[in-house]
């Protein structure tokens, strides 16, 4: 018996020293690809309303590997992503579980949910083309395809092609036009770049302001963020925001979203949080604080975002686009887009 006793004691001790996740306390654990400070206000609101504590672990890479390795012991309840490809990757690697919730189904339109209820989009964001107000003005009819035409030579700025936002755009072009045409297009865009892909989306807008280029690819919410930042407001004021492909396929739209982890230890709380994130309160906050488009139809975008006008979005299912993710990454290597 003493051996068993020692064993129990040391196990208990180990459990104490580890950052253990007791199921007694009301909490929910999130692995987040999004910076914690962006979602903290929303989580604080949730804690206020429910008394459930939200723990966030933020990293931009490797979280999927971590959750996969942790297996049935993973402390993660939810994973928040900033793009569709990771939602699909989590699902296809069997790291998620289905959520059957009336609330989620009511709040989130069906094109923004997985048909098998494995992932749910929370906000949408458009991949816009920003143009220099001073040198070209607004260009309402511009398309992504235009970016490859010779008259744009030396006028385009973008962040690394390998960034999920760009990979997803390229994947959508592959989904629409096939790989061969997409490759010709990507080569054309590369030939038109004003400089090697670098920096983030904001840095491209800054480059337009500085006169380094006339057009830049960037997500819509960065414009709102820059207008709210004293140092960056002058960058934002130097550009017009354009919604591409309005007369053709519609603008490429990506999503931020959430999955319930397969082995979520706090499943009930996690679903509560998912439902909260799709509710009017949270959707409104996403819209007002982060300038994203809420997925819930009844919630309006912020005044500023609404002032950019309505737009036609690409109707191709996101899952179809996500399927081309790997092909897009390889295409980027083939045309040496970032080099």
Instruction: Count CA within 13 A, CB hemisphere, residue 37.
Output: 0
Which of 74/143 has CB closer to another protein? 74
By three-state DSSP, how is residue 122 classified? strand
Among 6, 9, 11, 137, the residue binding another protein under the rule CB under 8 A is 11
Evaluate the CA torsion angle 288, 298, 47, 262 in order and state its sign: negative
The reply to whether 5 sits near another protein by the rule CB under 8 A is no
Q: Which of 14, 138, 233, 306 binds another protein (CB under 8 A)?
A: 14
Identify residues 66-105 at the interface with another protein (CB under 8 A): 66, 69-75, 89
Residues in 254-273 that interact with another protein by CB under 8 A:
none
Q: Which is nearer to another protein, 117 or 160 (CB)?
A: 160
Longest dimension (CA), the chain: 84
108: helix, coil or strand? coil
Candidates 5, 24, 62, 100: give the one binding another protein (CB under 8 A). 62
Calculate the CA 239 to chain-centre distance: 23
Which residue, 318, 320, 304, is CA-closest to 121? 318
Of 218-257, which residues contact another protein (CB under 8 A)?
229, 231
CB 76 within 8 A of CB 261: yes
Work out which of 60, 140, 247, 312 binds another protein, going by CB under 8 A: 60
Site for another protein in 157-186 (CB under 8 A): 160, 162, 167
Whole-angstrom Cα distance, residue 224 to residue 291?
6
133 forms part of the interface with another protein (CB under 8 A):
no
Closest by CA to 22, choosing from 49, 53, 65, is 53
Site for another protein in 182-221 (CB under 8 A): 195-200, 202-203, 206-207, 209-212
SS3 state at 131:
strand
Selected binder of another protein within 1, 2, 5, 17 (CB under 8 A): 17
Nearest to residue 168, comparing CAs of 1, 320, 328, 339? 328
Number of residues that make up the chain = 339
Instruction: Find residue 241's DSSP bridge partners.
Output: 130
In angstroms, rounded to a whole number, what is the distance separating the alpha carbons of residues 85 and 88? 5
Does 59 bind another protein (CB under 8 A)? Our answer is: yes
Task: Identify the residue among 18, 24, 25, 180 touching another protein (CB under 8 A).
Answer: 18
Residue from the set 44, 49, 65, 141 that interacts with another protein by CB under 8 A: 65
**Per-residue binder mask for another protein (CB under 8 A), 271-310, x = binder:** ----------------------------------------
44 near another protein, rule: CB under 8 A: no
The answer to whether residue 329 forms part of the interface with another protein (CB under 8 A) is: yes
Sign of CA dihedral 96, 101, 104, 108: positive
Report strand pairing: 27-32 vs 53-58: parallel
CA within 13 Å, CB half, 292: 23
Of the candidates 57, 103, 227, 313, which one interacts with another protein according to CB under 8 A?
57
Q: Pick from 21, 105, 117, 267 the residue near another protein by CB under 8 A.
A: 21
Stretch that binds another protein, among 99-107, 112-120, 123-131, 330-338 (CB under 8 A): 330-338
What separation in angstroms does the CA of 328 have from each of 175, 178, 179, 180, 214? 10, 11, 8, 11, 25
Q: Is 333 in the site for another protein (CB under 8 A)?
A: yes
Q: Please report, as ranges, the residues that interact with another protein according to CB under 8 A.
A: 7-8, 11, 14-15, 17-21, 29, 35-37, 55-66, 69-75, 89, 160, 162, 167, 195-200, 202-203, 206-207, 209-212, 229, 231, 325-326, 329-330, 333-334, 336, 338-339
């Amino acid at each position: 018996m003493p051996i068993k006793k020692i064993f129990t004691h040391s196990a208990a001790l180990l459990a104490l020293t580890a950052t253990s996740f007791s199921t007694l306390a009301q909490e929910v654990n999130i692995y987040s690809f999004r910076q914690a400070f962006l979602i903290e206000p929303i989580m604080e609101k949730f804690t206020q309303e429910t008394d459930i504590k939200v723990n966030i672990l933020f990293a931009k890479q490797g979280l999927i590997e971590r959750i996969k390795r942790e297996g049935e012991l993973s402390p993660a309840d939810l994973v928040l992503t900033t793009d569709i490809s990771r939602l699909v990757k989590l699902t296809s690697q069997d790291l998620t579980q289905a959520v059957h919730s009336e609330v989620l189904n009511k709040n989130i339109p069906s094109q923004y949910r997985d048909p098998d209820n494995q992932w749910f989009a929370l906000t949408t964001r458009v991949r816009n083309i920003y143009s220099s107000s001073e040198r070209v003005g607004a260009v309402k009819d511009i398309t992504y395809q235009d970016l490859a035409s010779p008259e744009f030579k030396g006028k385009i700025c973008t962040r690394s092609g390998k960034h999920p936002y760009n990979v997803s755009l390229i994947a959508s072009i592959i989904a629409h036009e096939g790989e061969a045409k997409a490759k010709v297009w990507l080569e054309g865009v590369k030939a038109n770049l004003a400089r090697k892909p670098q920096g983030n989306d904001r840095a491209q807008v800054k480059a337009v302001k500085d006169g380094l280029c006339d057009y830049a690819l960037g997500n819509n919410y960065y414009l709102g963020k820059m207008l709210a930042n004293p140092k960056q407001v002058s960058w934002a004021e130097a550009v017009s925001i354009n919604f591409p492909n309005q007369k053709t396929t519609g603008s490429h739209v990506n999503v931020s979203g959430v999955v319930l982890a397969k082995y979520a230890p706090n499943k009930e709380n996690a679903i509560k949080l998912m439902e909260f994130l799709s509710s009017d309160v949270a959707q409104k906050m996403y819209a007002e604080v982060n300038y994203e488009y809420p997925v819930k139809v009844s919630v309006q975008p912020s005044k500023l975002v609404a002032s950019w006008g309505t737009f036609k979005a690409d109707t191709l299912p996101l899952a179809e686009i996500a399927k081309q993710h790997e092909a897009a990454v390889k295409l980027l290597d083939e045309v040496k887009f970032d080099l």
